């Protein structure tokens, strides 16, 4: 606003505001837990108080990593973004979110890369893996195996072209599934057969870079091709990767959080602001209205989400009458 304020005063304002709007953050978590597809991943983060604990407290000596986890939940065409900063991995944070999931709805699809830490333990999920991560391995070894990698990349490119066409034509999840089964299924079957031939006919050394890239994809084939069997299954985790760029940009600009509480406040604002962006809502107006109507927010959290708060404002104005 152009008004110079001491850092401590700025923090007091932000912390107090976070307390008033946290019910909206908790409601985002509850609604995200009901999602049809949940994307998750994490990036490293610095929290000074946690770093000091790791250095001087033996309790944390075997777990020194600090992360910001990003979770994007999609439901009925709506997208919700959540951020969590601390010692937990993305899979552990996803498990905490899914603890809010209704028991009566089917298991969701989880999209992530193949790292074990992205998978929540002891939860029933339909897991899909990110094709972009598999593709990247072929790109990295392409200078040494140009013809072979070109073939793989061209096949995957045609699959992505089919997916783009499905989105352009605004197909339903079932229509998209049938479209991929018809047009992308034969491509992926051919690619799987080609992979098998490379090893069977000894065209590729298993320990080579190309051999490792092929093995990475074939060992997780069912998870990479879930989009051919399950309606709504995505091809990649790009939606979450884009969300994590917000946390990475914050890390580059401010370098660190001082405390866990400060990180939590940051997570609240980042989650609400990015969900606004995904919902085509004005983040500044949204946060302002949450602050002004914090009492109503506490009573009816579900009515004050980025996608419906304007309707709640109209109802509130109609009840109050003209000024």
Alpha carbon 57 to its chain centroid, in Å, reads: 32
Q: What's the CA angle centered on 83, arms 78 and 89, to 5 degrees?
A: 120
Which H helix or E strand runs over 53?
helix 48-56
85, 266 contact by CB (below 8 A): yes
Mean pLDDT for the chain?
A: 93
| Mean of pLDDT values over 207-231 | 96
Spatial contact of 149 and 210, defined as CB atoms under 8 Å apart: yes
Distance from C-alpha of 5 to C-alpha of 300, rounded to nearest angstrom:
34
Q: Which two tokens stand for residue 268?
A: 């609240």
Task: To the nearest 10°, report the CA torsion of 213, 217, 219, 221.
Answer: -170
pLDDT tens per residue across span 274-307: 999 999 999 999 999 999 999 999 999 999 999 9
The helix/strand/coil state of 38 is: strand
pLDDT digits (tens, 9 = 90+) for 147-198: 999 999 999 999 999 999 999 999 999 999 999 999 999 999 999 999 999 9
Tell me the HSE value of 207 on the side-chain side, using a 13 A CA sphere.
0
Question: Can you give the pLDDT at residue 78?
Answer: 94
| Cα angle 41, 43, 46; round to 5 | 145
Q: Pairing mode, if any, of strands 67-75 and 126-129? A: unpaired
Interior/surface letters 49-67, b for 16+ CB within 10 angstroms, e for the rest:
ebeebbeeeeeeeeeeebb
- At residue 182, the 3 state secondary structure works out as helix
What is the pTM for the complete model shown?
A: 0.91
pLDDT attached to residue 318: 61
pLDDT in the model for residue 256 = 92
Average pLDDT over residues 80-103: 96
């Amino acid at each position: 606003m152009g008004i110079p304020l001491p850092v401590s005063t700025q923090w007091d304002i932000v912390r107090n505001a976070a307390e008033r709007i946290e019910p909206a953050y908790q409601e985002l978590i509850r609604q995200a837990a009901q999602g049809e597809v949940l994307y998750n991943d994490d990036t490293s983060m610095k929290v000074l108080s946690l770093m000091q604990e790791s250095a001087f407290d033996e309790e944390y000596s075997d777990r020194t990593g600090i992360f910001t986890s990003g979770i994007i939940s999609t439901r009925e065409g709506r997208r919700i973004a959540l951020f969590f900063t601390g010692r937990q991995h993305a899979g552990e944070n996803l498990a905490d979110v899914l603890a809010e999931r209704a028991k009566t709805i089917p298991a969701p699809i989880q999209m992530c890369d193949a790292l074990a830490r992205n998978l929540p333990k002891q939860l029933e999920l339909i897991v899909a893996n990110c094709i972009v991560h598999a593709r990247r391995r072929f790109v990295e070894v392409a200078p040494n195996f140009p013809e072979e990698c070109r073939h793989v990349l061209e096949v995957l490119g045609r699959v992505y072209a089919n997916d783009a066409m499905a989105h352009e034509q605004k197909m339903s999840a079932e229509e998209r599934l049938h479209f991929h089964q018809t047009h992308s299924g034969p491509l992926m079957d051919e690619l799987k057969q080609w992979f098998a031939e490379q090893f069977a006919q000894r065209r590729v050394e298993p320990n080579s870079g190309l051999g490792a890239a092929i093995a990475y994809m074939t060992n997780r084939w069912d998870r990479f091709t879930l989009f051919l069997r399950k309606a709504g299954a995505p091809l990649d985790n790009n939606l979450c990767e884009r969300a994590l760029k917000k946390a990475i940009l914050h890390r580059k600009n401010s370098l660190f959080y001082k405390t866990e509480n400060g990180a939590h406040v940051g997570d609240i604002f980042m989650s609400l602001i990015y969900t606004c962006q995904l919902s085509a809502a004005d983040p500044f107006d949204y946060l302002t209205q949450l602050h002004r109507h914090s009492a109503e927010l506490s009573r009816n959290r579900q009515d004050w989400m980025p996608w419906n708060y304007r309707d709640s404002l109209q109802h509130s104005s109609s009840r109050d009458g003209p000024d």
